[in-house]
């Protein structure tokens, strides 16, 4: 069953697992001893911090063998809680692998209520969201195509979207970093469709002297400008040149032009009316596929006559958990991380109730924090000063806090776990892919690291393979107004770590 990992986690916490406790005490003693010893920073790291005008007191560092068998090579303010930014995704994704298991998938049930005669459903169609982080446009199309495969071409009733599996997390998309059009600022949603974003593809047509604009998904009731004039010159800031106007949720307009030299470009923006996005997307795609709808697309719940939920006609299954955490960590997808974080409490509640699935449960951020805290104490560290302060699981928060030594313990625990390959392969590789593809470090290809960036915060944590063949757990986080300028210092630390022979 999908929930056995939660039950195992609880049993681990309640039984006297002496080997695990001894190992944890050894690692704790090692890290504490190294943290208590003042160490001189590597000269190249120190020099890079000085050039960035970042004081040592704004930095935390720890480099220790991933297997935890030796004292730390470097420890600097490793016991000081700091804001880790997206490095916090390491906690969420490792907890998910351990609690849910690498074979875990999300399901989206589709319920047909009423009879189907001559291609018409005389009743309602229900789509129940259960937190799938990757229900993107093409998968929504497949879902609706399966509805048509049931012989349904016309729906005489309504299409009802059940989003009750997650609490309603209200966010102002502009409040965090002033970027309301960025899809990563979308709020989590039990029925998260295409990250609540519109993907626009601009295709130059020199014959017509215009750029055709294609939109995905189609949104019901929204007028979308089909083309923009072409212009000459270099392709610089094409988005600014378009002079896009997204303020009116019922119109997408462009007051500028598109440079022909840009060739084809794809631009994804968060839809202005996020609350009604799912309804517009479902109706727009259903109608574009030739489907007819007599009623409306609205929110509601799947009926439960006599307390028993109607049986789904079919369920759409997500990619597996390792595929999802690869997107989360490689590209630092915040809303997917929050979906995963909420899923932890949704599945935990289902496990406690003995249900075969999360039907009827509601996930909350508070409940997910409790799940992660219990897991942390039983799996990573029982020390109170190691416990991270987690807001929403994505690191997109000003209240998150964790120490370098706590992150190192997590990395060492993960390295010794059966899920180490899945976690490590989800992390960006320096100079190769993900958020670290542009890294200029000489350690190109030698490090798998989760990066994190916010205003006044920059950091990395993960694994580094050194010249000696040893693999190290490395953590470096800067909390300072000049944090972004300290990236060369992080690269210097990576280079220093690899040169250990």
* Closest listed residue to residue 372, CA positions, set 395, 336, 345, 351: 345
CA–CA gap between residue 229 and residue 465 (Å, rounded): 51
Are 98 and 110 contained in the same domain? no
CA–CA gap between residue 338 and residue 365 (Å, rounded): 9
Average pLDDT over residues 285-309: 93
Are 359 and 421 contained in the same domain? yes
Are 159 and 176 contained in the same domain? yes
Model pLDDT, residue 442:
84
Model pLDDT, residue 238:
96
Are 402 and 376 contained in the same domain? yes
Are 114 and 82 contained in the same domain? no
Are 258 and 300 contained in the same domain? yes
CATH number for the domain harbouring residue 86: 3.40.710.10
Are 184 and 223 contained in the same domain? yes
Phi, psi torsion values for 305, nearest 5 degrees: -60, 130
CATH number for the domain harbouring residue 237: 3.50.80.20
Q: Higher model confidence: residue 358 or residue 119?
A: 119
Total of domains in the chain: 2
Model pLDDT, residue 240:
95
Model pLDDT, residue 179:
66
CA–CA gap between residue 462 and residue 408 (Å, rounded): 8
Q: Does the pLDDT value for residue 229 go beyond 50?
A: yes
- Residue 34 pLDDT class (50, 70, 90 cuts): very low
Phi, psi torsion values for 378, nearest 5 degrees: -85, -20
**pTM attached to this predicted model:** 0.89
Are 151 and 171 contained in the same domain? yes
- Domain end position, chosen among 272, 300, 318: 318
Contact 202, 262 (CB under 8 A): yes
Beta strands 251-254 and 244-245, pairing class:
antiparallel
Least confident among 219-228, 305-314, 339-348: 305-314
Q: Does the pLDDT value for residue 208 go beyond 90?
A: yes
Average pLDDT over residues 343-362: 82
Sign of CA dihedral 84, 30, 420, 3: negative
Model pLDDT, residue 99:
98
Model pLDDT, residue 178:
59
Average pLDDT over residues 234-239: 94
Model pLDDT, residue 39:
67
Are 221 and 250 contained in the same domain? yes
Model pLDDT, residue 69:
78
Least confident among 2-6, 64-68, 223-227, 254-258: 2-6
Average pLDDT over residues 319-323: 98
Residues 6+ apart with CB under 8 A from 494: 430, 441, 443, 446, 447, 449, 460, 464, 474
- Residue 353 pLDDT class (50, 70, 90 cuts): confident
Q: Does the pLDDT value for residue 205 go beyond 50?
A: yes
- Domain end position, chosen among 298, 318, 338: 318
Q: Does the pLDDT value for residue 6 go beyond 90?
A: no
Q: Does the pLDDT value for residue 405 go beyond 90?
A: yes
* Structure token pair of residue 387: 């416990």
- Residue 40 pLDDT class (50, 70, 90 cuts): confident
Model pLDDT, residue 358:
63
CA–CA gap between residue 210 and residue 189 (Å, rounded): 37
226 — alpha (psi -120 to 50), left (phi > 0) or beta? Answer: alpha
Model pLDDT, residue 185:
74
Are 314 and 447 contained in the same domain? no
Task: Please state, for a pLDDT cut of 90, what percent of the chain lies above it.
Answer: 82
Are 160 and 304 contained in the same domain? yes
The DSSP 8-state label assigned to residue 311 in this structure reads P
- Domain end position, chosen among 297, 318, 339: 318
Burial code of 337-357, b = ≥16 C-beta within 10 A, e = fewer? Answer: bbbbbbbbbbbbbbbeeeeeb
Q: Does the pLDDT value for residue 35 go beyond 70?
A: no
220: containing domain: 106-318
Q: Higher model confidence: residue 19 or residue 88?
A: 88
Mean pLDDT score of the chain:
90
H/E element holding 401? none
Least confident among 2-16, 132-146, 183-197, 271-285: 2-16
Q: Does the pLDDT value for residue 21 go beyond 60?
A: no
* Closest listed residue to residue 340, CA positions, set 192, 199, 448: 192
Q: Does the pLDDT value for residue 125 go beyond 80?
A: yes
Q: Higher model confidence: residue 175 or residue 409?
A: 409
Model pLDDT, residue 443:
82
Are 127 and 88 contained in the same domain? no
C-beta atoms surrounding 369 within 10 Å: 19
Q: Higher model confidence: residue 109 or residue 28?
A: 109
Tens digit of each residue's pLDDT (9 = 90 or more) over 84-94: 999 999 999 99
Phi, psi torsion values for 312, nearest 5 degrees: -65, 150
Average pLDDT over residues 252-280: 95
Tens digit of each residue's pLDDT (9 = 90 or more) over 157-190: 999 999 999 999 876 665 555 566 777 778 999 9
Task: Please state, for a pLDDT cut of 70, what percent of the chain lies above it.
Answer: 89
* Structure token pair of residue 182: 């960025």
């Amino acid at each position: 069953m999908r929930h056995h990992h939660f039950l195992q986690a609880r049993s681990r916490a309640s039984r006297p697992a002496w080997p695990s406790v001894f190992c944890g005490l050894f690692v704790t003693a090692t890290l504490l001893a190294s943290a208590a010893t003042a160490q001189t920073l590597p000269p190249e790291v120190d020099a890079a911090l000085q050039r960035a005008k970042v004081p040592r007191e704004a930095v935390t560092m720890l480099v220790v063998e991933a297997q935890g068998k030796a004292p730390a090579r470097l420890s600097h303010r490793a016991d000081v809680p700091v804001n880790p930014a997206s490095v916090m995704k390491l906690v969420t994704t490792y907890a998910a692998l351990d609690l849910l298991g690498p074979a875990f998938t999300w399901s989206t049930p589709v319920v047909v209520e009423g009879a189907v005669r001559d291609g018409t459903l005389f009743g309602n169609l229900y789509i129940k969201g259960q937190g799938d982080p990757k229900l993107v446009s093409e998968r929504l199309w497949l879902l609706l195509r399966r509805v048509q495969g049931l012989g349904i071409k016309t729906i005489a009733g309504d299409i009802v979207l059940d989003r009750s599996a997650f609490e309603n997390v209200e966010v102002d998309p502009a409040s965090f970093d002033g970027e309301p059009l960025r899809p990563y600022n979308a709020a989590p949603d039990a029925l998260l469709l295409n990250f609540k974003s519109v993907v626009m593809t601009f295709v130059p047509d020199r014959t017509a002297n215009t750029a055709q604009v294609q939109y995905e998904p189609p949104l019901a009731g929204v007028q979308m400008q089909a083309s923009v004039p072409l212009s000459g010159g270099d392709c610089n800031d094409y988005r600014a040149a378009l002079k896009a106007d997204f303020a009116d949720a019922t119109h997408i307009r462009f007051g500028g032009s598109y440079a022909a030299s840009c060739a084809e470009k794809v631009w994804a923006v968060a839809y202005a009316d996020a609350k009604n996005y799912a309804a517009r997307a479902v109706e727009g795609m259903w109608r574009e596929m030739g489907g007819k709808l007599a009623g409306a697309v609205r929110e509601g719940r799947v009926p439960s006559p006599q307390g028993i939920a109607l049986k789904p006609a079919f369920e759409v299954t997500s990619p597996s958990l390792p595929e999802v955490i690869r997107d989360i960590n490689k590209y630092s997808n915040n809303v997917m991380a929050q979906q995963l974080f909420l899923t932890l409490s949704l599945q935990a509640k289902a496990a406690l109730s003995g249900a075969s699935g999360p039907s009827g449960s509601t996930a909350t951020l508070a409940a997910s924090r409790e799940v992660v805290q219990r897991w942390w104490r039983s799996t990573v560290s029982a020390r109170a000063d190691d416990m991270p302060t987690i807001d929403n699981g994505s690191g997109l928060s000003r209240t998150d806090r964790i120490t370098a030594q706590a992150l190192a313990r997590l990395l060492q625990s993960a390295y010794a776990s059966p899920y180490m390959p899945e976690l490590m392969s989800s992390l960006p590789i320096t100079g190769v892919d993900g958020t670290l593809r542009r890294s200029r470090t000489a350690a190109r290809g030698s490090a798998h690291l989760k990066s994190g960036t916010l205003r006044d915060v920059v950091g990395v944590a993960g694994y580094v393979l050194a010249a000696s063949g040893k693999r190290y757990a490395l953590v470096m986080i800067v909390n300072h107004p000049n944090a972004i300028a300290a990236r060369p210092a992080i690269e210097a630390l990576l280079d220093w770590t690899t040169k250990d022979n």
